[in-house]
Structure 1
Amino acid sequence: MTQEVKANNSTLVNSVCAIVFILFTFVYLYFFQSDIIAMEQHVLSGGITHYNKTIGAVLLTVVLFLVKLGVSKLTRFDGWINILNYLPSLMFLAVLTSGNQDFDVSLFPTNVIVIVCIVIILYAIFAVLSRQKSIFYIDTSYTGSLTGGLWKSLLALSAMLLMVCALGNTNEIFHYRLRIEHLLESNDYDNALSVGEKSDDTDPDLTMLRIYALSRTKQLGERLFEYPIPKGGSDILLPDGVNVKCMMFPETEIFKQLGIRKMGKMKPLEYLLYLENHGLAMKSVTDYILCGYLLDKNLDGFVNIIKNKYNLSSPALPKHYREALTLYTHLRSNPVLVFHSEIMDADYADFQKLEEKYNNKSERFSYVKDTYGETYWFYYFYQ
């Protein structure tokens, strides 16, 4: 193989690998990790600056590629092994997208930092030894067919890209939280409610954000139990700064729509009832209280509030409130009020028939969830 052919092969392989690197980096930053980068910038700037995912993805891709070019000048690897010059850039990308969920302790996970440091040290040792051919030698020339050299380089690059994905933060719930908070900052409540709506995974922080978005769109009593609900009852209604909290969205915005008094050390439902009883409550507090009682499965407390707040014969009565009232009427031998809806009573009768149809608990759970998983009845009996 002539020197000219080798040079052409080398240029073509390097160009293809550069295109793959640039495309991967941009797509990974723009579509998959923009929420993590936004959170990191928010923390590092103290909330002063905001991340633009288009500009950020372009700038970071350019910077990482320039780092690769700089590393190439230092190492001067020959042949297909030149692909290793992407390793420092990709390790930096791995750290950048690893974003620690508990950023109060550390912005980046310690295990990721340790792994990346070890990889970079080994890379530096390899780079030094590879120049001492009398001590360490590996044939790096482009020999054989062009296809063989290209696939060898792409295989090595693919392994490095997989390492980046493995080290990056891929926690689905955490990404949902960050995306919702970003949308809430833009008052885009409808899109915030669509984030992760088909997923069964959730946590108290994510649910608290959804409750706020539902409240702002006046759908709290209509749609809350269409989403998965974690353990915690009414304690997940509001952020407490410890067990339930926001990452970027100002918690003051959540309390602003409820009342003028801060929660302090009170539990969420206790705080909401304090606002209500002392004439400090905004209109949205009523639905927060009602849903708090439903989350605690306290039907008596729910009924005592709703009978004075809603017209129970109105067709506009939210769905979950009708479901809870139907359940209360069927469960109590001496109910404070009796609620009947032809459609709701028929649905509840079908719910009971479906339960009776399956003796196996796991089978019953599966079938009931498929049909009634978005009702308060399912939450009350199965969660």
Structure 2
Amino acid sequence: MNIADYIRRKRVRAILCALFMVFATVYVLSYECDVIVFTFNKLLGKDNFYDTSLGPWLLIFSLLFLQRLVSKTIYFRDRHYTLTFLPSAIVAVLLTSFVPYCNWISLLVTLLCLTFGIVQHRIDYRRREKDRKRASYRLVPRLTWHCMWLLALVAYMGFAGNADTYFHQELKMARLISDGQYRSVVNFSVNPPGTSIITAMRAYAQSRSGKSIADELFRYPLQNVGDSVLLLQHRDAKRTPFQASAIFQQIGIWPHRGESISQYLERGAKFRPYALFTPGRDYYLCGLLLNKQIDRFVNEFRKYHTLSDTLSMPRAYAEALILYQRIRSNRQVQYKNELMAANYQDFIDKRNNYPSEYERANVLAVLYGDTYWWYYYYSNLK
């Protein structure tokens, strides 16, 4: 190969490295940043530590270093030089696609790509002497060919990488909580119905911001029915860096062995009995609403709150009291809120306009899907 062809080859490889570096930066720092940090923390045994400063940058330069190492130690023909980026792509996929659970489709695609790279390397190795005698190196056709291969590699990383939307949202919210951005967590947009982890983190962030969970609890559809969505389940411990101990600390007490969620929340409501407001009471009352124990909610609400038409009240509490007064003839409380009462009457009128239960649920979900009324009537409708 003459000097001109050598310079052209160097330029093509430099362009390919630059393009791969740009994509790796976007892939690691934007698309899979939270997943990679979570993976690093798990590998280091840090369950409750969430640092985003150094790990992704180290990975980016490690991927480029791995490519340079492969290109120097393993022979590939010039037309297949893009395959030197394949090990770096596989490493990036391995760090993202199999967290928190194994993605068998991604594993199969990765094995196929690795097999193809090995087979192609063996074919190129046999043609090594013939490739050395090649006389011409055309810049534009060769660059176009390499860009096509690089595009295929990028498509592989995008397809085989972690595309679990809910998992990305959970990690994003966990990072916001670790940074103390609780209002950002509450207002974080989530594809409905979300997950129980997302609901637990949103409730925790709302409580840490000094406001009642009932103000935002039914703003988004809930995946599950019942008070279990307020706490992290044991099976969720490996899926998120957000720790259940943070919720226990916010409530003020830790659960006992064999204690149900309802029993734990009821005991948490009695913590600091002389305080005007405690997160434990808020969790307990919201748990009763989630369990649709409307009569018990009213009885417990009277213990911890002074009923007044002039004082502001968390939205879900007010909606539950309006509902209670409409469905119970023997009323133990009297609560007046003309605007909310009118909205509830409109809810009932529209509910009676449709004979099908599923049609009612869909229509009312658009108008009143963020209310406790919709949750009470339709949350368990499959």
| Equivalent in 297, 303, 307 of residue 302 of structure 2 | 307
Q: Do the aligned residues in 1 keep the contact of 2:97 with 2:106 (CA within 8 Å)?
A: yes
Q: Do the aligned residues in 2 keep the contact of 1:17 with 1:153 (CA within 8 Å)?
A: yes
| Equivalent in 286, 296, 313 of residue 281 of structure 2 | 286
- Structure 2: runs of 5 or more not aligned: none
- Per the alignment, in what secondary structure is the counterpart of residue 120 of structure 2? helix
Q: Distance in 2 between matches of 1:203 and 1:42?
A: 22
Residues 54 and 3 (structure 1 numbering): CA distance in 2 closer, same or farther, change over 3 Å?
A: farther
Q: Do the aligned residues in 2 keep the contact of 1:192 with 1:213 (CA within 8 Å)?
A: yes
Q: Which residue of 2 aligns with 1:170?
A: 163
Q: Distance in 1 between matches of 2:5 and 2:331?
A: 88
* % identical aligned pairs: 27
Residues 140 and 239 (structure 1 numbering): CA distance in 2 closer, same or farther, change over 3 Å?
A: farther
Q: Do the aligned residues in 1 keep the contact of 2:361 with 2:378 (CA within 8 Å)?
A: yes
Q: Distance in 1 between matches of 2:109 and 2:61?
A: 24
Counterpart code for 1:213: A
In the alignment, is residue 379 of structure 1 matched against residue 380 of structure 2?
no
Q: Distance in 2 between matches of 1:29 and 1:277?
A: 46
Q: Which residue of 2 aligns with 1:190?
A: 183
In the alignment, is residue 129 of structure 1 matched against residue 123 of structure 2?
yes
Q: Distance in 2 between matches of 1:48 and 1:208?
A: 18
Q: Distance in 1 between matches of 2:119 and 2:241?
A: 41
Q: Distance in 2 between matches of 1:236 and 1:24?
A: 38
**How far off is 1:101 after superposition?**
1.9
Q: Distance in 2 between matches of 1:186 and 1:298?
A: 36
| Equivalent in 314, 321, 327 of residue 325 of structure 1 | 321
Q: Which residue of 2 aligns with 1:105?
A: none
Q: Do the aligned residues in 2 keep the contact of 1:10 with 1:142 (CA within 8 Å)?
A: no
| Equivalent in 187, 195, 198 of residue 206 of structure 1 | 198
Counterpart code for 1:208: A
Q: Do the aligned residues in 1 keep the contact of 2:100 with 2:239 (CA within 8 Å)?
A: no
- 1:19-98 alignment, distance < 5 Å: 19-47=18-46, 50=49, 52-98=51-97
Q: Distance in 2 between matches of 1:140 and 1:339?
A: 92
CA-to-aligned-CA distance 1:202-229 (integer Å, 9 cap, x gap): 1112211211111112130111100221
Residues 79 and 242 (structure 1 numbering): CA distance in 2 closer, same or farther, change over 3 Å?
A: closer
- Per the alignment, in what secondary structure is the counterpart of residue 53 of structure 1? coil
Q: Distance in 1 between matches of 2:271 and 2:82?
A: 69
- Per the alignment, in what secondary structure is the counterpart of residue 311 of structure 2? coil
In the alignment, is residue 230 of structure 1 matched against residue 226 of structure 2?
no
| Equivalent in 152, 156, 159 of residue 149 of structure 2 | 156
TM-score, normalised on structure 1? Answer: 0.87
RMSD between aligned residues: 3.0
| Equivalent in 308, 311, 316 of residue 312 of structure 2 | 316
Q: Distance in 2 between matches of 1:44 and 1:198?
A: 28
**How far off is 1:70 after superposition?**
1.0
Residues 82 and 51 (structure 1 numbering): CA distance in 2 closer, same or farther, change over 3 Å?
A: farther
Residues 96 and 243 (structure 1 numbering): CA distance in 2 closer, same or farther, change over 3 Å?
A: closer
Which structure's relative contact order is higher, taking Cα pairs within 8 Å and 6+ residues apart?
A: 2
Q: Do the aligned residues in 1 keep the contact of 2:270 with 2:280 (CA within 8 Å)?
A: no
- Structure 1: runs of 5 or more not aligned: 103-107
